[in-house]
Amino acid sequence: MEAHFAQYQTIQAIMDTITEQTQILWALALMVGCPILSISLGEIVSRLRSQLHPLTETLHIIRVLVLPPLAILLVMLKLLNVSANKTATQVVATMLGLAVMYSFIALVNAILVPGQRRYDWQINVPNLLFQVARVSVILCVAAYLLAYVWQVDLSKVFAALGVGSLVIALALQDTLSNLVSGFLLIFESPFQVGDWVKIKDVEGEILEINWRAVRLKTPDRDVVIIPNGVLGQETIYNYTLLDPSHGDQVTFTFSNEEAPNRVMPILKAAAIAVDGILVDPEPQARPRKVTDHQTEYEVIYYIKDFPNAGSIKGQFITNIYYAAKRHQLKQPVPSEQHYVLHHAPSNRQDYKPDIFNALVALPIFRDLDQDVLNSLSHQATIEYYGIGETIICAGEFDEGVCILLEGQVVLTSPTQAGKNCVITYLEKGDLFGEMALLRNEPSYTECGLNGPNSDTTGQEPISMVFPS
């Protein structure tokens, strides 16, 4: 017995020695490791913060909130030998768990991005899945703290939740319907944030997709909130999901006296001249309906900048207005009209004197006889152009020499980079299009109407054209 007792004391002494050595090692590790880890994380956080890195917040939380309770818990368990079932230990472990939960949420915020991602390792997810991931982190950490720190039997909690789930489901039918519809929309992905869609009578850009509803921004800059449950029952038109190009159509009517083969190229050229209308696929113009006194034409064109579809259509209609004036396309009139004139109709403004004065004011025509100037002024034609239209394109042959009667024209020259460099601005009375006097010589510059009209008479921008 004495031999066994002596052997037991020897083993106990060895165990005490090992325990003391382990405590010394833990003490050295905590005394050296914690400051080094804290300083290292501080330096990393400082560098990442200067780069606006998304992981900065996560590392900062680990350094400030996770390390202190972790060090305290290790001291209590490894050095002071405090039981894990003590209330003080449980409180410190709970603080550590909350800090870890906060750091995991910050990590989820850095990795899962509901909007546009900045780094390749980030994952773009809908806002609904983003919120689900955060809630999952909270529930998992809370379940761990309750089950392993506070020794709570979660089976009883789940049983109680099972009994009350029926009551909750009945009370939150609409909310659960929206939630389930939101998940189905995410898995099916009929649209994404930034897409332009039409839902019922509402048309707009997707701003946000969450667990309850979808937010749209209409062209009128109004925000429309549509519940997910309603979306699951409606037909959704997505203008930009698979193909960013969107087709639009406009109809025009002209007199039957105008041949379709003459009208259609004019409509097509006016569409191609609009900034925003695609050249490929090219616009299409075709007759749609013919009546006794008019022909209806349909123009189909494609755009990629859907948010500016209204502005592009407005510019196209404006181009058609001025093109119809330039080419003197006849408008449709009824088959029979009755007029009652109480006085002689006033003639349209006569520009012949202005043309003659403009010719006399130019040095190139000043020495010509008056008969020649009168002949030129009578041969000249008046053309109307709208803001943004191109009068003469670089590389094309000028149709005639032009004198600006009203408005302002910008003269540009194309560069090697594909941009137009402004040379000068032409005012009333200036001459341009002189390359028409040279045979087989295209224009080296481009002329277009510049901004709002510079004249103060309220007239439309006008230019005078001589036959080349």
Residue 418: per-residue pLDDT: 73
Would you say residue 209 has pLDDT above 50? yes
Would you say residue 323 has pLDDT above 80? yes
Would you say residue 453 has pLDDT above 50? no
Amino acid at site 246: H
Instruction: Tell which residue, 91, 89, 66, has the closest CA to residue 79.
Output: 89
Last residue of some domain: 238, 255, 270? 238
**In this structure, what CATH number is given to the domain that contains residue 208?**
2.30.30.60
Residue 1 lies in a domain: no
Residue 70 lies in a domain: yes
Residues 250 and 306 in one domain: yes
Could you report the per-residue pLDDT of 21-56, keeping only the tens digit for each?
A: 787 888 888 888 888 999 999 999 999 998 889 999
Would you say residue 440 has pLDDT above 70? no
- Average pLDDT, integer, range 194-215: 87
Residue 39 lies in a domain: yes
Residue 241: per-residue pLDDT: 80
Residues 40 and 146 in one domain: yes
Residue 9: per-residue pLDDT: 57
Residues 197 and 137 in one domain: no
Contact, 99 vs 66, CB < 8 A?
Answer: yes
Q: Token digits for 387?
A: 């803001």
What is the pLDDT confidence band of residue 454, given thresholds at 50, 70 and 90?
Answer: very low
Give 254's contacts (C-beta < 8 A, 6+ positions apart).
263, 294, 295, 297, 324, 329, 330, 331, 332
Cα angle 253, 255, 256 (rounded to 5 degrees) comes to 115
Could you report the per-residue pLDDT of 94-108, keeping only the tens digit for each?
A: 999 999 999 999 999
What is the pLDDT confidence band of residue 176, given thresholds at 50, 70 and 90?
Answer: low
Buried b (16+ CB within 10 A) or exposed e, 377-409: beebebbbbbbebebbbeeeebbbbbbbbbbbb
Residue 370 lies in a domain: yes
Last residue of some domain: 134, 152, 170? 152
What phi and psi values does residue 269 have, to the nearest 5 degrees?
A: -65, -35
Residue 4 lies in a domain: no
- Average pLDDT, integer, range 176-202: 78
Residues 264 and 310 in one domain: yes
Residues 62 and 133 in one domain: yes
Residues 23 and 102 in one domain: yes
Instruction: Enter the pTM of the model.
Output: 0.56
Residue 161 lies in a domain: no
Residues 283 and 362 in one domain: no
Buried b (16+ CB within 10 A) or exposed e, 151-170: eeeeeeeeeeeeeeeeeeee
> How far is the CA of 435 from the CAs of 257, 304, 372, in angstroms?
35, 36, 21
What phi and psi values does residue 416 have, to the nearest 5 degrees?
A: -65, -25
Would you say residue 458 has pLDDT above 50? no
Last residue of some domain: 238, 267, 301? 238
Residue 162: per-residue pLDDT: 64
Residue 430 lies in a domain: yes
Number of domains, the chain: 4
Residue 10 lies in a domain: no
Q: What is the mean pLDDT of the chain?
A: 81
Least confident span in 52-56, 195-199, 457-461 = 457-461
Could you report the per-residue pLDDT of 380-435, keeping only the tens digit for each?
A: 888 888 777 888 887 787 777 888 888 888 888 888 777 788 888 888 888 888 77
Residues 122 and 148 in one domain: yes
Residue 455: per-residue pLDDT: 37
Domain that holds residue 304: 246-326
**In this structure, what CATH number is given to the domain that contains residue 277?**
3.30.70.100
Residues 234 and 255 in one domain: no
Residues 439 and 359 in one domain: yes
Would you say residue 317 has pLDDT above 50? yes
How far apart (Å, rounded) are the C-alpha atoms in residues 135 and 108? 11
**In this structure, what CATH number is given to the domain that contains residue 389?**
2.60.120.10
Of the two residues 300 and 338, the one the predictor is more confident about is: 300
Could you report the per-residue pLDDT of 112-138, keeping only the tens digit for each?
A: 887 677 888 888 877 777 888 888 899
Residues 145 and 226 in one domain: no
Residue 344: per-residue pLDDT: 55
- Average pLDDT, integer, range 137-160: 85
Residue 456: per-residue pLDDT: 31
Could you report the per-residue pLDDT of 244-301, keeping only the tens digit for each?
A: 888 999 999 999 889 999 999 999 999 999 999 999 899 999 999 998 889 999 999 9
> How far is the CA of 295 from the CAs of 272, 316, 334, 412, in angstroms?
22, 19, 12, 38
Instruction: Tell which residue, 446, 339, 463, has the closest CA to residue 393.
Output: 446
Residues 290 and 371 in one domain: no
Least confident span in 52-56, 177-181, 360-364, 426-430 = 177-181
